[in-house]
């Protein structure tokens, strides 16, 4: 890669500019973020709803200890898997972090693939109804009887905009959308679309103050190959044992948000099925192959949803992550964005 000249303008001061690096799973976000941090003083704020959980390292593709040590990272390993983490909590934490990092003379670098978190940070969140355990339990019973596709069909009747962006088996999000409707009488899309003058968190930074670089593949097959390779590497690194250890705690259930993360749900189900058959460890070859197939399919579906979210953000600067020069293009975008903020 050809060297890029170092920026010549004075030190960056926020809230004029921070950098956001988004993209679907396996698009190369971590490598790009580390390359940025190697060229400029930076601190990484994770924008990932799975990396917040402790003890979930392999299946979340959490940065390696050496990577975490090389660059300051924030909002990783901050929550036990027993406890949920919300977009509102993310915004409350990220806003002050951005200001603090900037005050230290470093570049706040938002990196991740949880697009709801990006949207919440850019636009704010309306004060949606709080979780209602009774309604949620009732929805779980209905799903157990009729299946999540049936509840997805119900959601399509009351909130077609939300249903259109959810997979028929996306139990977590279907449940939350129906819960919001049953509690408030308003569809989830109403809260997302309403002008967020009064927000849950006053720390939304505004899309206009942020350079959003989006890693998107020109060839979807390239991303699919990367996803398969990553899942194979996770299995080889002991992912099933990681999930087995989480199950062995005894206080976690497959209905928790942490355990519904892509990969973890499929591994939990595979271990459940083997246990029901009375088999011990390790997973039988057929069960392992089935887990691999389901995990890869679920990861592809996640990537598709992430790309749909990204395409709804017109301010993003797209870099084709399958381009051999992708990293150089990312660095050039960051350089231009920083100089624009410094010299404006």
pLDDT in tens, 205-223: 555 568 999 999 999 999 9
Q: Looking at residue 222, what is its pLDDT? A: 98
33: three-class secondary structure by DSSP: helix
Statement: residue 340 has pLDDT above 80: no
Residue 61's CB: how many other CB atoms inside 10 A? 20
Q: Looking at residue 282, what is its pLDDT? A: 84
Closest CA to 186 of 177, 197, 175: 177
Mean per-residue pLDDT, 55-74:
96
42: three-class secondary structure by DSSP: strand
Core vs surface per residue 286-300: b (16+ CB within 10 A) or e: ebbebbbebbbebbb
Q: How far is CA 331 from the centre of its chain?
A: 22
- Pick the more confident residue, 75 or 165: 75
DSSP states along 197-217? SS-S-TT---GGGEEEEEEE-
Give strand pairing partners of 212: 20
pLDDT band at 98 (very low <50, low <70, confident <90, very high): very high
Statement: residue 6 has pLDDT above 50: no
Statement: residue 338 has pLDDT above 90: no
Over the chain, what is the mean pLDDT? 87
Distance between CA 97 and CA 43 in Å, rounded?
Answer: 10
Q: Quick one: DSSP state of residue 317?
A: E
Q: Looking at residue 196, what is its pLDDT? A: 40
pLDDT digits (tens, 9 = 90+) for 27-60: 999 999 999 999 999 999 999 999 999 999 999 9
Q: Are 242 and 56 in contact (CB under 8 A)?
A: yes
Q: In what order do the strands lie in the sheet with 42-47?
A: 73-74, 42-47, 107-112, 18-22, 210-216, 317-320
Q: Looking at residue 216, what is its pLDDT? A: 98
Distance between CA 229 and CA 27 in Å, rounded?
Answer: 12
Q: Looking at residue 127, what is its pLDDT? A: 66
Distance between CA 273 and CA 101 in Å, rounded?
Answer: 47
Q: Are 44 and 31 in contact (CB under 8 A)?
A: no
- Pick the more confident residue, 200 or 267: 267
Closest CA to 110 of 96, 92, 98, 100: 98
Q: Are 97 and 287 in contact (CB under 8 A)?
A: no
């Amino acid at each position: 890669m050809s060297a890029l000249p170092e920026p010549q303008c004075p030190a960056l001061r926020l809230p004029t500019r921070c950098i956001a690096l988004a993209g679907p799973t396996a698009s190369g976000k971590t490598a790009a973020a580390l390359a940025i941090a190697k060229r400029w003083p930076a601190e990484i704020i994770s924008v990932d709803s799975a990396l917040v959980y402790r003890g979930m390292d392999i299946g979340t593709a959490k940065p390696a200890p050496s990577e975490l040590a090389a660059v300051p990272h924030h909002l990783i390993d901050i929550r036990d898997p027993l406890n949920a983490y919300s977009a509102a909590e993310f915004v409350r934490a990220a806003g002050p972090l951005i200001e603090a990092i900037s005050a230290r003379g470093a570049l706040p670098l938002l990196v991740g693939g949880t697009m709801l978190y990006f949207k919440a940070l850019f636009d704010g969140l309306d004060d949606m109804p709080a979780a209602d355990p009774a309604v949620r339990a009732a929805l779980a019973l209905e799903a157990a009887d009729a299946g999540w596709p049936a509840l997805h069909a119900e959601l399509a009747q009351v909130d077609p905009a939300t249903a259109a962006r959810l997979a028929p088996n996306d139990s977590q999000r279907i449940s939350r959308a129906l819960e919001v409707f049953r509690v408030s009488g308003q569809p989830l899309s109403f809260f997302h679309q309403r002008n967020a003058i009064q927000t849950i968190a006053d720390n939304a930074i505004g899309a206009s103050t942020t350079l959003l670089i989006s890693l998107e593949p020109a060839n979807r097959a390239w991303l699919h190959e990367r996803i398969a390779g990553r899942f194979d590497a996770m299995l080889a690194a002991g992912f099933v044992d990681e999930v087995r250890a989480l199950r062995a705690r005894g206080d976690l259930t497959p209905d928790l948000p942490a355990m519904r993360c892509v990969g973890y749900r499929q591994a939990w189900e595979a271990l459940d099925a083997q246990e029901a058959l009375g088999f011990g460890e390790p997973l039988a070859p057929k069960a392992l192959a089935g887990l691999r197939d389901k995990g890869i399919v679920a990861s592809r579906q996640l990537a598709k949803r992430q790309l749909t979210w990204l395409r709804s953000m017109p301010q993003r600067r797209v870099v084709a992550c399958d381009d051999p020069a992708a990293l150089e293009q990312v660095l050039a975008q960051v350089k231009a964005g920083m100089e624009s903020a410094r010299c404006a």
